[in-house]
Amino acid sequence: EGIRGLLTSDETFQQVRELAEVLGKRFVVAKNVPGFAANGMLMPFINEAFFKLQGGVSSANDIDLIATEVFGHPMGPLKLADFIGLDTCLASIEAMHAGFGDKYRPCPLLREYVEAGRFGKKSGKGVYDYLG
């Protein structure tokens, strides 16, 4: 995502676009708002998966299976959250909550995991256990 700041010149923005293309990346422009475009869509999906897990609607494995087998995603939202880092996900969701209100309220279970040091793959344990 290319996010133009208030002081970003057209020349600088174009250079960033060209660099992305040289690196083989697709370039999209997003407004400078909490979550930008990609995380603005991804983090509510991850947050809702945590609400489903907290409510006992489905197991973590089944939630991820729905995402991969039914929706065709390459990775389920809970496994993806573990890969990103639950602390990183929580910080992003908190920023969106502060910017946009209760629609983006972080799931209490996600907060519990982070407070317990369960950050995901980088700490060895998140939704899933990576220690053994």
Residue-range domain boundaries for the chain = 1-32, 34-132
Give me the pLDDT at residue 42, please. Answer: 96
Per-residue pLDDT of the chain (132 residues; tens, 9 = 90+): 899 888 999 999 999 999 999 999 999 998 888 888 889 999 999 999 999 999 999 999 999 999 999 999 999 999 999 999 999 999 999 999 999 999 999 999 999 999 999 999 999 999 999 997
Could you please state the CATH topology (level 3) that the domain comprising 34-132 is classified under.
N-(1-d-carboxylethyl)-l-norvaline Dehydrogenase; domain 2 (1.10.1040)
Q: CB–CB of 57/109 below 8 Å? A: no
Closest by Cα among 41, 40, 26, 30 to 3: 30
Whole-model pTM: value is 0.87
CA 22, chain centre distance (Å): 26
